[in-house]
Every structure is written in C-alpha cells, then in structure tokens.
Amino acid sequence: MIASVRRAAAVCVLAACTAAPSSCGAQRAPHIPARPAPSASAAPSRPPTLAPGPAGLTPVFSHGPRTRGRVVALTFDADMTAGQGPRAAAGEHFDNPGLIAALRALKVPATVFMTGRWAEQYPDQARAIARDPLFEVANHSYSHYAFTGDCYGLPTVPEERMRADVERAYTAFRKAGVRDALPYFRFPGGCHDRRSLRALSGLKVTAVQWDVVGGDAFATDADAVARQVLDGVRPGSVVVLHCTRSAAPVTERAVRAVVPELRARGYRFVKVSALIGAANGRPTLEK
C-alpha cells in the first residue's frame, strides 16, 4: 500500500485540492457557455472554460499561451483519499495551513484542486480558501480514486461512477460552505483516457493538467523542489504542487523560495482561470 501510494504521489496523488463548486455539478454547468468566449468582452464574470474536444469529449488544458507574457499559475492539490479518515483521526495532517498562510503573505494567487473528502475533513479551511479572492477552488474528485485502469496503484472508479464521483465532490464543497467552485477538474494522478473524458463530458468541466511537475510529493529537500519548478517554468506554465502536509511536507518552504525568484525573473502569478481565459483570447492582466 505504501509503495503504491508513494508512486502515485510522485505525480499528483497529493493533488487533492480541487475546488468544487456548487457551480460545476448539476447546478452551474448548464449555464457555462459550451464555447469559449471569443473576446474579453464576453461574460467576464463567468469562469472561462475550453470548448469540448473532438466528439464532445471533455477538453484538457495543460498550460496557457506561451506568447502572452510571463505569467504562471501555481496549483495545489489538496489530496485526501476516501478511506483515509482513520488516519486523519489518528493525527495525520492532510491539510497545510502554513502553506496557505504563506501564499497569503506573499500575495500569490493560486488555484486549489480539492478532493471532496478533504473538504469534508477540513470544512473551515475549505470555506476560508474559497472565500479568499486570492484563491480559487476546483475539483480533484471526491475519492481520489483513479479514472483509468492503471494509475500509480490507486483504486479505480468504475466508469459508471466517474461522473457521480466528481459531482459528489461538488456536493461536499457546498456542504462545507464552498461556493463558486470552478468547473475545472483535475484527474487524480492526472490519469485520464478517452473513456474517462467521455464519462465526464456531460459535466462541461475543463480537465486541468500541468506542464511543470513540482515533485513535492514525499520530497524532503525543499531546495530540490524549488529548483525543479524554476527549471521548468515557462510563460503560461501550470505548476502542480500539493496542499497536504503529511505527504508533501516541504512545499511551503519550496514556495517561499520559488516566488521571489520567479518575480525577479519578471513572472506574475495568476490563477488557472486567467490562463484558460487567455487561451480564449482574454487578457491575463485582469484581476
């Protein structure tokens, strides 16, 4: 179990910080335009999404435009897997309030991909993150089970349960007081295929991957994580990190090193929604 968990975490198992909205599931999704906004003037208050892929499949976003300036989105997966409740009860910390406090102190906008299970465990933190305009919350599934057959040893969500698992996360968000969770979904471990993209197509979410792996899962060397991020970031990058103390204990320290260095290089931090909006032609400079 430990080995499989560690393997999974190496990529994104920790990525549980998806924010789920009451917005994404059955409620908000029908109001999201099926097509990307063609210009900055189109419905700026609605979160931008990508148009469906071929055959109506859930679209996948990995990074923003490379030619729209030095912007970068830090994303934090708030991982907690269904079944980890006893470990939390025994004292294991799946949250990371120090990391969130550091982002606030540094004034770094960020997107938190939260699992529904995490929101259930830490409703006060989930709500506080969602209410802070510095952050946005997106969906990282309820269970943090895999949406493909082979994904770092994670248990698998049956195809007929995939949509319900994502919707259950949005429900958990609402119960925690998280409103306006975004219609963005990050697959646990990033694992997806045509079948899972089809299974979620009715939700009208945009699947959000990344182009820079922070490598903070189970890392013990904050400097190494910081170097990996700094080496990987390009204009428009999406960086995946984690918001889970027990499995990503050096993330806060790495972020404290990365942020001033990227700013010194001329980068500005934005949320994923800004990058998706930029991909649709919107300016990324809007707040």
- Quick one: 153 or 281, whose CB is closer to Zn ion? 153
- Binding string, residues 162-201; x marks residues near Zn ion by CB under 5 A: --------------------------x-------------
Angle of helix 222-232 versus helix 251-264 axis, rounded to 10: 40
Q: Measuring CA to CA, how many Å separate 51 from each of 113, 138, 249?
A: 21, 18, 37
Stretch that binds Zn ion, among 23-31, 70-78, 210-218, 271-279 (CB under 5 A): 70-78
Minimum distance from CB of 51 to Zn ion (Å)? Answer: 26
Q: Tell me how far apart the alpha carbons of residues 103 and 89 are, in angstroms, rounded to a whole number.
A: 27
- Quick one: 121 or 280, whose CB is closer to Zn ion? 121
CA-nearest of 119, 214, 227, 215 to 174 is 119
Minimum distance from CB of 30 to Zn ion (Å)? Answer: 27
Which 75-114 positions form the footprint of Zn ion (CB under 5 A)?
77, 79
Kindly tell me the sign of the dihedral angle through the C-alpha atoms of 153, 119, 129, 202. Answer: positive
Q: Return the residue nearest Zn ion (CB atom).
A: 15
Q: Tell me how far apart the alpha carbons of residues 150 and 68 are, in angstroms, rounded to a whole number.
A: 36
Phi-psi category of residue 83: left, alpha or beta, with phi > 0 → left and psi -120 to 50 → alpha: left
Q: Indicate which single residue of 5, 11, 15, 259 sits in contact with Zn ion (rule: CB under 5 A).
A: 15
Contact by Cβ (8 Å): 177, 159:
no
216 scored as a contact of Zn ion (CB under 5 A): no
- Quick one: 15 or 88, whose CB is closer to Zn ion? 15
12 scored as a contact of Zn ion (CB under 5 A): yes
CA-nearest of 118, 124, 84 to 15 is 118
- Quick one: 4 or 263, whose CB is closer to Zn ion? 4
- Quick one: 145 or 269, whose CB is closer to Zn ion? 145
Contact by Cβ (8 Å): 210, 242:
no
- Quick one: 18 or 284, whose CB is closer to Zn ion? 18
Q: Tell me how far apart the alpha carbons of residues 52 and 30 are, in angstroms, rounded to a whole number.
A: 14
Minimum distance from CB of 141 to Zn ion (Å)? Answer: 8
Stretch that binds Zn ion, among 10-18, 38-46, 256-264, 276-284 (CB under 5 A): 10-18
Binding-site size, Zn ion (CB under 5 A): 7
User: Where along the sequence are the contacts to Zn ion (CB under 5 A)?
Assistant: 12-13, 15-16, 77, 79, 188
